[in-house]
Structure 1
Amino acid sequence: MLKQHRELSMSIRRTIENNDEAGIRPSKTYQSFVAAAGGHRELNFIEKDVRNYITREVRNVSEQEDAKEFGKYLLRMKEKNPNFFFELQLEEDQSIKLAFWADARSRAACEYFGDVISFDTTYNTNRYNLVCGSFVGVNHHGQSTLLGCSLMKNEEIESFKWLFQCWLRCMGGNAPKGFLTDQCASMKRALEACMPTTVHRWCIWHIMKKIPSKLNGYKAHADVEQQMSHVVWNSHSKDSFDRNWNDFLVNFGLADNKWLSDLYEDRHIWVPIYLDHHFWAGMRSTQRSESMHSFFNKYITRNSSLIQFVKQYDNCLGSREQAERESDAADFHTVIPCATKSPIETQFQDAYTQAKFREVQAQFRGKANCITRLKNSALGYSVYEVGEQVSSSILDKFAVTYDSVAAEVKCQCLLFESRGILCRHALSVLSFEQVSQVSPRYILERWSKKINLFDAASAAHSSSSQYQGQVINYQFRVPAAGDNSLGV
């Protein structure tokens, strides 16, 4: 137990470093040594030695040294795979100001799943209070997929502009169709400048979460919260939302509330009925990005170094990749049986991954609660009213149109437009019309079980000049005098 008799061998030190890189806590590492040795008495060191070694040798580096090791790590990743991308911008003291990186597989995934991006930032990542930002998409299994990571010194407009332009360069200049963030004014302005054609959406979960704190000073604030939620979620048209919102303000005497007035002015950027005619892959909040940060928080504290953070990010990438492999294997080896005799259901069974086919089946089951009534029809164009029994006392009504010439069906609920899954109302009309096959436009390739990102990433790895049919030129830019940036 005396300090001079305690020591850590080279193999023990290497194991400590490997476990720390894998996110294993020092206490668990020490217990593994105890179990392997056959008891505490068989070890010539204690748990405190393990903690001290991590603090002194692994984490005790200056910010400048840490930034240097961080850059070296990214360069090694680039040497391993030419399609690894990163850019750095340094402060005058050589500490990190801005950083972005994405591996080859993330870039391959962006070809399929870069149509909708969720982006969120958090501070709880490292000892330097650098802001971590994760670009997250949705893969063909409905799982979160990482499409790049960033570190920033601040959340100013110019920082976000640098980051978004960097992401665009990495992904071949293809801006996403939809971009989902929190209510950050700097981020909003940067997106407008860098991606003017992209539809920007605010996280509705963050907005609705603020209702109690913003309105709890009013009488019957619980009723206010309930009614506001009803207006936001159950308005089936823009006109009905405007009417319902105005009635809500009048009924509760909230016409002079500035927070609600500002929200109404920005309704086009957060209210579902104003946005759901665009495709969002089922995303309405930044919780997918936040779930990535929660993964980091399990293994990283505010005392963690940059090199530890980037290695944990690689671990996160690996866990996401493994989850996708397992889902791909399940699609290959098993088939979910159809719940009905509908040939349309069989179409989706053949095309979609298991996760997405289950969503389709949920809509087929929902048909049982729908009552379809033809309102009028002319020249192959029919208008239906589909009533859905959502409870014993509530019957929601949806307008559905069907064009038999164009083989096109549209529902007022906009489920297909926003999530890429045909709704139960549309399926009810197709059944009423005795349609046996849906148009290919309703079977989205991005949900296909035939997508193989591992082949795409391997193809990218085999050639440094060709990537998914696009030629990408890489340059190692040596900083000129006064230039503190580095890009590869």
Structure 2
Amino acid sequence: MAHCRVLKMVSIMRTTQRSKRENSFFKRFEHKSGTLVEFWIRFKSTMDQQRHTQKQLDNNDNHSSAKTSTHLALESHAAKVYTYSAFYTFKEEAIYSIDTCRTGGFTERGELEVTTVKDSSRGTNFEVAYNPALTDDPGTRKASCSCTRFERTGILCRHIIWIFSANGMKIIPDDYVVNKWTKEYLRLRMFNYNGEGTENMEVIDEK
């Protein structure tokens, strides 16, 4: 009877209401002949390993800067503000922007400068709408790309990087630095009602 109850408890953790990723995660700890204690030991071991890996990554982010691979000032700025993992995603896009992106045409739509960017790595063209803004502050400039990578991932695509660099921008505008990908986000601390520090609390990104 006890064994049957364990199986029922485990099966509850894998339902259609959970995402596929969650189901896959919990499935690794399930065994037909396993007990709840064995499940908990496997689960705790994996969580401890994840925490150890995260602490190593956090230490790297807080005490060192990633190595850049291009001459782009935008990449140097990204190395200063992004975590290691986010930076290497940006870095890959920066390299592609130099190696595979070229300007194919240009039109004006009101205050927007719309540039066709030829992307040889994908064999297609993308449109980047760029607003140089009315001020000299590069932090207020805006752009959007038809590939919608930034909207999906929070990291600039190679096409916008190409346009920003072509316009002499040296820093990533604030609107395109998503908090959760930054080193500063790792240092944020929230305090409970006792005034005790609580690490890694969820912070809503207003952007």
CA-CA distance at 1:333 after TM superposition: 3.5
CA gap 1:455/1:307 in 2 versus in 1, 3 angstroms: farther
Partner of 1:435: 169
Aligned positions of 1:129-168 closer than 5 A? 130-132=10-12, 151=13, 160=17
Calculate the TM-score normalised by the size of structure 1: 0.35
Partner of 2:25: 292
Query: Of residues 367, 381, 400 in structure 1, which corresponds to 2:112?
Result: 381
Q: Where does the alignment leave 5 or more consecutive residues of structure 1 unmatched?
A: 1-60, 65-94, 96-125, 133-150, 161-179, 182-285, 470-488
Answer whether contact 1:295 1:316 (CA < 8 A) is retained. no
In 2, Cα distance between equivalents of 1:327 and 1:424: 25
In 1, Cα distance between equivalents of 2:182 and 2:79: 10
Q: Where does the alignment leave 5 or more consecutive residues of structure 2 unmatched?
A: 134-139, 203-207
The answer as to 2:67 corresponding to 1:127 is: no
In 2, Cα distance between equivalents of 1:316 and 1:454: 25
The answer as to 2:147 corresponding to 1:413 is: yes
Partner of 2:205: none
Deviations 1:325-346 (A, max 9, x none): 0111222333222222322112
The answer as to 2:89 corresponding to 1:356 is: no
In 2, Cα distance between equivalents of 1:453 and 1:304: 40
Three-state SS of the structure 1 residue aligned to 2:128 is strand
CA gap 1:292/1:341 in 2 versus in 1, 3 angstroms: same
Aligned sequence identity (%): 18
In 1, Cα distance between equivalents of 2:44 and 2:192: 18
Partner of 1:62: 2
Counterpart amino acid of residue 395 in structure 1 = G
Calculate the TM-score normalised by the size of structure 2: 0.77
Partner of 1:445: 179
Answer whether contact 1:372 1:432 (CA < 8 A) is retained. no
Counterpart amino acid of residue 416 in structure 1 = F
Answer whether contact 2:77 2:170 (CA < 8 A) is retained. no
CA gap 1:451/1:378 in 2 versus in 1, 3 angstroms: closer
Answer whether contact 2:104 2:117 (CA < 8 A) is retained. yes
Counterpart amino acid of residue 425 in structure 1 = H
In 2, Cα distance between equivalents of 1:306 and 1:398: 53
CA gap 1:62/1:289 in 2 versus in 1, 3 angstroms: closer
CA gap 1:380/1:455 in 2 versus in 1, 3 angstroms: closer
Answer whether contact 2:78 2:172 (CA < 8 A) is retained. no
Q: CA RMSD in A?
A: 3.3
Partner of 2:137: none
Deviations 1:128-163 (A, max 9, x none): 37425xxxxxxxxxxxxxxxxxx37x75xxxx5xxx
Aligned positions of 1:326-365 closer than 5 A? 326-365=56-95
In 1, Cα distance between equivalents of 2:180 and 2:165: 25
In 1, Cα distance between equivalents of 2:91 and 2:124: 21
Counterpart amino acid of residue 62 in structure 1 = A
CA-CA distance at 1:378 after TM superposition: 5.4
In 2, Cα distance between equivalents of 1:366 and 1:403: 23
The answer as to 2:106 corresponding to 1:372 is: no
Answer whether contact 2:106 2:115 (CA < 8 A) is retained. yes
In 1, Cα distance between equivalents of 2:177 and 2:53: 24
CA gap 1:372/1:340 in 2 versus in 1, 3 angstroms: same
CA-CA distance at 1:289 after TM superposition: 3.3
Count of residue pairs brought into register by the alignment: 193
In 2, Cα distance between equivalents of 1:373 and 1:429: 12
Deviations 1:388-409 (A, max 9, x none): 112xxx7311111001115111
